Amino acid sequence: MRVLLVRWRQYQVVLSVAGGRRPCMFCEALNTLLYTKQAGRIESLVCSYRIKTHKSTYIRPTNLLFHPRLSPHTPRMSDNNDQKPEEWDRVLEDEFYQPDEDAIAFFKKETGITDSLELKQHVIRVQKEAFSIFPYPCIRVFGFTWMKFAHLPAYELVLQLGRERKEPLFLDLGCCLGNDLRKLVQDGYPIQYVIASDLRQELWDLGHKLFRSTQETYPARFISGDVFDSSFLAVEPPMPTSSASDLPPVPDLSSINSLNALRGRVSAIYIGAFFHLFSEEKQHFIAKLLAGLLSPEPGSIIAGVQGGAAQKGFWKPTAGTTGFKMFCHSPESWSELWHDVFTEGKGGDGGIEVHGRLRKEIGGDDYFKTYPGNTDPYYVLEWYVVRK
């Protein structure tokens, strides 16, 4: 047994490593320490209990709010909240596994598991493993079984691009376990032109476990990265429609390590349950990032779904003690945002159409027991932006 003492200024973390291997959590420990110091969230680091991961042991301080294997961007889950809300510390409940018939058919075909009970047990096993590493509410409530993208009005338009356009690049940004992208491919989109991206490679790897595949058997391109890192994705102005007939060739996807290489070449982008994690200002910034990636060709499309409201502002459940809040756009304010992005604030329609609608989310007013006693239901905004 080899013991590593990781020090950074006055902070230290101890890792006990079996077999003398360098721990996979070495960089994670340093990352957590650096972020903790920069955020000024704690005065000191006091070791108190152990979390076992693989063959390493990470000693975590009780006053550190973050899960040791999460990025600094993900533990609090939202740019609108100072810390991870207490309401999200809920136990896993198998009763939340409620896929509809279309989802069951998709999972059976994708996994090769034809027995419904065996499929349920398999999904629950992977869900528990995923939640132990990434305690996201969407994983707790089996959101990865909902086929959100396939139920959007834009879905058939995206499939049409896959059938009719030459080199129709598709990007799933914030792909999580990859279910939406896989559904699109299963419905006929050419797999050689799909790209999945998320902050962490581990999510995509768990997707392989969920769908019983490997990179060799399912060769969709995955690129990990942080959208707020300009070396991964930088703001570029939307390409003018006049350039649609003179686009550069699509790069070799196996050779790229960031999304910057795709500027103006992506035919369709899907971004689900992502925007609402951030403030109004950062939502506008993310929209600018996506606009720079979108192809200027008519019919190119950005589609998504996230928390929404009849009037833009913060959604605050009426129950709970932590003051959790989520900034939500209305269909009208969302349309204004995209027109502003594509005109670069100069007015006009920017050569785009924006469509949006509100829908009450499933899970009841308490959203799968997340907010007991809540009387202000959670709505989602389903939308798409299309080049004219």
- 25 and 171 belong to one structural domain: no
Q: Taking phi first (over 0 means left), then psi (-120 to 50 degrees means alpha), and beta for anything else, what does residue 308 get?
A: beta
- 331 and 242 belong to one structural domain: yes
C-alpha R_g of the chain: 21
Each residue's pLDDT expressed in tens, for the chain with a length of 388 residues: 333 444 443 434 444 333 333 334 444 444 444 333 333 333 333 333 333 333 333 333 322 223 333 333 333 445 666 555 555 567 799 999 999 999 999 999 999 999 999 999 999 999 999 998 888 889 999 999 999 999 999 999 999 999 999 999 999 999 999 999 999 999 999 999 999 999 999 999 999 999 999 999 999 999 999 999 999 999 999 999 999 988 988 999 999 999 999 999 999 999 999 999 999 999 999 999 999 999 999 999 999 999 999 999 999 998 665 678 999 999 999 999 999 999 988 888 899 999 999 999 999 999 998 888 899 999 999 999 999 9
Task: Among 54, 69, 84, give the residue marking a domain's end.
Answer: 69
CA atoms within 13 A on the CB side of 67: 19
Residue 115: inside a domain? no
The number of distinct structural domains making up the chain is 2
Do the beta carbons of residue 278 and residue 74 sit within 8 Å? Answer: no
Task: Among 69, 87, 119, give the residue marking a domain's end.
Answer: 69
- 258 and 353 belong to one structural domain: yes
What's residue 80's pLDDT? Answer: 67
Do the beta carbons of residue 26 and residue 17 sit within 8 Å? Answer: no
- 154 and 247 belong to one structural domain: yes
Taking the C-alpha atoms of residue 381 and residue 337, their distance in angstroms, rounded to an integer, is 14
- 40 and 169 belong to one structural domain: no
Taking the C-alpha atoms of residue 305 and residue 310, their distance in angstroms, rounded to an integer, is 15
Strands 47-53 and 56-61: antiparallel
Q: How many CB atoms lie within 10 A of CB 252?
A: 9
- 267 and 365 belong to one structural domain: yes
> CA 35, 25, 121: angle at the middle one, nearest 5?
110
Nearest one of 348, 304, 64 to 180, comparing CA atoms? 304
What's residue 371's pLDDT? Answer: 87
What range defines the domain where residue 21 resides? 2-69
What's residue 83's pLDDT? Answer: 52
- 219 and 343 belong to one structural domain: yes
Residue 171: inside a domain? yes
What's residue 165's pLDDT? Answer: 97
Show Cβ contacts of residue 36 under 8 Å, excluding neighbours closer than 6 positions.
11, 42, 45, 64, 66
Task: Among 39, 69, 99, give the residue marking a domain's end.
Answer: 69
CATH number for 265: 3.40.50.150
343-346: Cβ within 8 A, 24+ apart: 344/237, 344/238
- 306 and 184 belong to one structural domain: yes
- 357 and 222 belong to one structural domain: yes
Residue 21: inside a domain? yes
Residue 340: inside a domain? yes
- 261 and 380 belong to one structural domain: yes
Residue 86: inside a domain? no
pTM of the model: 0.80
Residue 278: inside a domain? yes
Residue 113: inside a domain? no
- 36 and 168 belong to one structural domain: no
What's residue 46's pLDDT? Answer: 32
Residue 103: inside a domain? no
- 40 and 179 belong to one structural domain: no
